[in-house]
């Protein structure tokens, strides 16, 4: 599982790549996309009650559709003329999280993510991981490992963000 730093950077890169060039709702879409890129990991709260939900239903395209519908509905009820765009931003942010988790090393069973739920209950994993797993203990070896993992995410996803941003600026001219 990538770190929140990785999910933040990939969510932001997703937003920059997908937002219309003359987007008047830039800030709102940025917040929605990045928040939804981080939101699937809120399933860790279930661990407080002993429920193991991580990388299951919340890490799927079905959850992305539900998040998009919820955001679009709230925006429409608040009278926003851009409710469709905000719903799309939520969908893209959520799916960016699923994609990033699909691309990482996974050492906690079940291995993979339920990316295609509700169409499939299967767990899917990229065979050649790009990102390292992030551990959940505080011993020195894990802190060192996590620092290296987050550093790699910053380098790889930071470079992606810069490339996407430059491409966006070129198309605006």
**Whole-number Å distance between alpha carbons of 9 and 100:** 11
Mapping DSSP to helix (H, G, I), strand (E, B) and coil, where does residue 73 land? helix
Q: In this prediction, what percent of the chain has a pLDDT beyond 90?
A: 68
Q: φ, ψ for residue 167 (rounded to 5)?
A: -60, -40
- Residue 52: pLDDT above 70? no
pTM of the predicted model over 0.75: yes
Residue 154 has pLDDT above 70, yes or no: yes
In whole angstroms, give the CA distance from residue 1 to residue 23: 32
Question: What six digits make up the tokens of 50?
Answer: 């002993």
Percentage of the chain lying above the pLDDT 70 cut: 94
Q: Return the number of other C-beta atoms located less than 10 Å from residue 13's C-beta.
A: 22
49 pLDDT tier (thresholds 50, 70, 90): low
Whether residue 30 is predicted with pLDDT greater than 80 in this model: the reply is yes
62-80 pLDDT, tens digit each? 999 999 999 999 999 998 8
């Amino acid at each position: 599982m990538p770190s929140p730093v990785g999910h933040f950077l990939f969510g932001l890169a997703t937003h920059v790549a997908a937002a219309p060039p003359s987007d008047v709702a830039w800030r709102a879409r940025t917040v929605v996309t990045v928040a939804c890129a981080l939101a699937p990991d809120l399933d860790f709260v279930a661990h407080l009650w002993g429920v193991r939900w991580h990388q299951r239903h919340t890490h799927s395209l079905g959850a992305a559709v539900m998040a998009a519908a919820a955001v679009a509905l709230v925006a429409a009820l608040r009278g926003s003329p851009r409710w469709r765009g905000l719903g799309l931003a939520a969908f893209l942010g959520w799916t960016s999280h699923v994609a990033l988790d699909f691309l990482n090393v996974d050492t906690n069973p079940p291995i993979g993510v339920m990316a295609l739920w509700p169409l499939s209950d299967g767990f899917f994993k990229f065979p050649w991981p790009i990102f390292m797993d992030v551990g959940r203990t505080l011993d020195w070896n894990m802190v060192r490992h996590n620092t290296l993992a987050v550093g790699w995410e910053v380098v790889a996803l930071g470079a992606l963000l810069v490339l996407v941003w430059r491409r966006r600026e070129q198309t605006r001219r």
